[in-house]
Amino acid sequence: MTHYIVRFLFAALVLFQSACSVMAAATGTPDPDLSKLDTGAPRILVESELGPPVEESKIPGGTKALYTYKIGDEPAIGRAFLFLIGDIFTLCLAEYIFFPLEISNSGNAHDMEVVYGADDKARSLRKVSSAPKK
């Protein structure tokens, strides 16, 4: 009877933690094209590249928005396939190596502050910080 419980617990463990690295490698966001962003860029263009602001405040004559974006977090289908093959051959035990490895390769986070005028066009863009990998 106890060997059935052990088998069930092992199967549950494998199912719950399997394919985390596969999903992490297959998903991600393309790097923003920062060359499109310059003074005078409309808000819709800035947000199409950087995503929605994480913080926004009103200032005299407009708004100030803070954006966080990642560089180096693009999807990697080939790496996801290799992780899947490794999971199959090791009964998902390779996840203990693959998942931390994939998380460490998830790109570098950056912050950018954009000041918009009343017309919702960028008056200034300033890279605020480069955070360590998240």
Mean pLDDT computed over every residue of the chain: 86
Mean pLDDT over residues 104-133, rounded? 87
Q: Which domain holds residue 14?
A: 2-130
Question: Residue 1 pLDDT > 70, yes or no?
Answer: no
> Domain count of the chain?
1
Question: Residue 125 pLDDT > 80, yes or no?
Answer: yes
Of residues 51 and 87, the one with the higher pLDDT is 51
Sort residue 18 into left (φ over 0), alpha (ψ -120 to 50) or beta. beta
Q: How many CA atoms lie within 13 A of 27 on its CB side?
A: 7
Contact 49, 37 (CB under 8 A): yes
Per-residue confidence (pLDDT) for residue 13, from 0 to 100:
60
Contact 39, 52 (CB under 8 A): no
In the chain, how many H helices and how many E strands? 5, 4
Q: How far apart are CA 110 and CA 70, in angstroms?
A: 6
Mean pLDDT over residues 108-122, rounded? 95
